[in-house]
Chains A and B, each alone.
Chain A
Amino acid sequence: MTTDLLIKAQDISIELGGRSVLKDINLELRRSRLVTLIGPNGAGKTTLVRIVLGLLAPDSGKLERADGLRIGYMPQKLFIEPTLPLTVQRFLQLASPSINNLRPVLEEVRISHLLNQQVSKLSGGEMQRVLLARALSREPDLLVLDEPAQGVDVNGQVELYELINSIRDHHHCGVLMVSHDLHLVMAGTDEVICLNQHICCHGKPEHVSADPAYLALFGRREAQTLAVYTHNHNHVHDFKGGIVSDNCCDTDLKSGEHKHG
Chain B
Amino acid sequence: MADFLVYALIAGVSIAMIAGPLGCFVVWRRMSYFGDTLAHASLLGVAFAILFSIQLQLAIIVCCLVFAGLLLLLERRQILATDTLLGIIAHSTLAFGLLVLSISDRVQIDLSSFLFGDLLTVTRTDLMWIVACCVMCALVLFRFWDQFLAITIHRELAIIEGLPVNRLYSLLVLLMALLIAVAMKIVGVLLITSLLIIPAAAARRFSTTPEQMAAGAAGIGVVAVSAGLAMSYLWDTPAGPSIVVSAFVLFMLAYAKPQRHR
CB 8 Å contact bits of A72-114 with B (1 = contact, 0 = none): 0101001011011111001100110100000000000000000
Tell me which of A55, A73, A78, A86 contacts B210 (CB under 8 A).
A86
A84:B28 contact, CB within 8 angstroms: yes
Q: List the A side residues contacting B154 at CB < 8 Å.
A: 75, 78
B150 within 8 A of A: yes
Known: A55-B160, A84-B28, A138-B161. A94 touches B209 (CB 8 A): no
Q: Which of B97-105, B200-208, B247-255 contacts its partner?
A: B200-208
Establish whether residues B201 and A84, one from each chain, have CB atoms under 8 Å apart when the complex forms: no
Q: How far is the CB of B29 from chain A (nearest CB, A)?
A: 8
The prevalent SS among residues of A at the interface is loop
CB-CB under 8 A for A75 and B28, given A85-B207, A85-B209 = no
Docked Cα-Cα span, A4 to B27, in Å, equals 45
Write out, one digit per residue, whether chain A residues 118-139 have a CB within 8 A of any chain B CB (1) or not (0): 1001000000000000100010
Docked CA distance A80–B146 (Å): 16
With contacts A84-B152, A86-B209 taken as known, whether A75 is within 8 angstroms of B161 at the C-beta atoms is no
Query: Are B153 and A55 interface neighbours, CB within 8 A?
Result: no
**Cβ contact within 8 Å between A85 and B160:** no
B146 → chain A closest CB, angstroms: 6
B222 interface residue (CB < 8 Å to A): no
B157 CB within 8 Å of chain A: yes
Q: Which of B27, B160, B161, B209 contacts A90 (CB 8 A)?
A: B209
Residue of A nearest to B155 (CB): A55
Contact A80 B153 (CB under 8 A): yes
Cross-chain contact A85 with B208 (CB below 8 angstroms): yes
In the complex where A80-B153, A83-B27, A83-B28 touch, is A95 in contact with B161 (Cβ < 8 A)? Answer: yes
Q: Do A75 and B210 touch across chains, with their CB atoms under 8 A apart?
A: no
A40 at the interface (CB under 8 A from B): no
Q: Which A residue sits closest to B147, measured CB to CB?
A: A94
Contacts of A78 in B (CB 8 A): 153-154
Are B28 and A53 interface neighbours, CB within 8 A? no
Q: Which residue of B lies closest to A134 (CB)?
A: B157
A199 at the B interface (CB under 8 A): no
State the majority secondary structure of interface residues on B.
helix
Nearest Cβ on chain A to B32's Cβ, whole angstroms:
11
By size class, the interface of chain A is 20 to 34
Closest to B152 in A: A84
Q: Please determine whether B208 and A118 come into contact, CB atoms closer than 8 angstroms.
A: yes
A71 within 8 A of B: yes
Q: How far in angstroms is the closest Cβ of chain A from B27?
A: 5
Q: Which residues of chain B are near A80, meaning CB under 8 Å?
A: 153
* B156 in complex: contacting residue of A73, A86, A95, CB < 8 Å: A73
Let me know if A54 is at the binding interface, CB within 8 A.
yes
Q: Is B149 an interface residue (CB 8 A)?
A: yes
Query: Contacts A81-B28, A90-B210, A97-B146: A75 and B156 contacting too (C-beta < 8 A)?
Result: yes
Q: Identify the A interface with B (CB < 8 A).
A: 53-55, 71, 73, 75, 78, 80-81, 83-87, 90-91, 94-95, 97, 118, 121, 134, 138
Shortest beta-carbon contacts, A-B, top 5: A85-B207, A84-B28, A73-B160, A94-B150, A83-B27
